């Protein structure tokens, strides 16, 4: 397992869960579009309308959502790093193939790590922000709360895959 990033509490947050399932199931739920659409968006807030993931450096990370009122919100980013069944890193600061992104949202770099612990998996989602203001905006906008809900849904989904 690679060394996790050193978190700066003024810029980053991490959410950790133990999942009572093998790493291969956690990885599958994290990287296969048919699984991502089941857990990514908090159900009470909306739904996933489109999912595309090419889990290789430079690959597309796309999860479009439909929020209350029917507004579709695109989420497009670039995969930066992949170590199968160990780590995936993506950012909204770049579009696929490392093209500069144009966006009107708060950009993040997401690091998702997993490691076997007994018969289960330690899963950590880390969101890196470029400034204290971005982190605060993500907390007050509901992004942090929504991420916690989505990760709980992720855990439930993985457990149902067993």
Q: Is 138 exposed, middle or buried (0-12, 13-18, 19+ CB in 10 A)?
A: buried
Count the domains in the chain. 1
Residue at 3 is within a domain: no
Residue at 54 is within a domain: yes
Residue at 132 is within a domain: yes
If DSSP codes are grouped into helix, strand and coil, which group holds residue 82? strand
Residue at 122 is within a domain: yes
**What does the block give as tokens for 94?**
């770049």
How confident is the prediction along the chain (162 residues), in pLDDT tens digits per residue?
456 678 999 999 999 999 999 999 999 999 999 999 999 999 999 999 999 999 999 999 999 999 988 999 999 999 999 999 999 999 999 999 999 998 768 899 999 999 999 999 999 999 999 999 999 999 999 999 999 999 999 999 999 999
Residue at 5 is within a domain: no
Sign of CA dihedral 74, 67, 107, 36: negative
CB neighbourhood size of 26 (10 A) = 25
CB neighbourhood size of 19 (10 A) = 23
Please report, for the domain that includes residue 79, its CATH number. 3.30.530.20
Residue at 74 is within a domain: yes
Residue at 1 is within a domain: no
Domain carrying residue 73: 13-161
Over the range 29-49, which residues count as b (16 or more CB within 10 Å of their CB) and which as e? bbbeeebbbbbbbbeeebebe
Residue at 65 is within a domain: yes
In this prediction the pTM is 0.94
């Amino acid at each position: 397992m690679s060394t996790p990033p050193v978190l700066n509490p003024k810029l980053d947050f991490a959410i950790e869960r133990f999942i009572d399932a093998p790493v291969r199931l956690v990885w599958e739920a994290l990287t296969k579009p048919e699984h991502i659409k089941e857990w990514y968006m908090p159900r009470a807030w909306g739904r996933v309308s489109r999912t595309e993931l090419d889990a290789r450096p430079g690959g597309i990370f796309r999860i479009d959502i439909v929020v209350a009122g029917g507004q579709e919100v695109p989420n497009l980013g670039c995969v930066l790093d992949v170590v199968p069944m160990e780590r995936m890193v993506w950012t909204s600061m770049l579009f696929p193939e490392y093209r500069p992104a144009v966006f009107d949202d708060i950009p993040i770099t997401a690091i998702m790590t997993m490691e076997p612990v007994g018969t289960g998996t330690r899963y950590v989602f880390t969101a890196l922000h470029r400034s204290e203001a971005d982190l605060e905006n993500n907390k007050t906008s509901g992004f942090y709360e929504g991420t916690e809900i989505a990760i709980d849904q992720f855990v439930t989904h993985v457990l149902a895959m067993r």
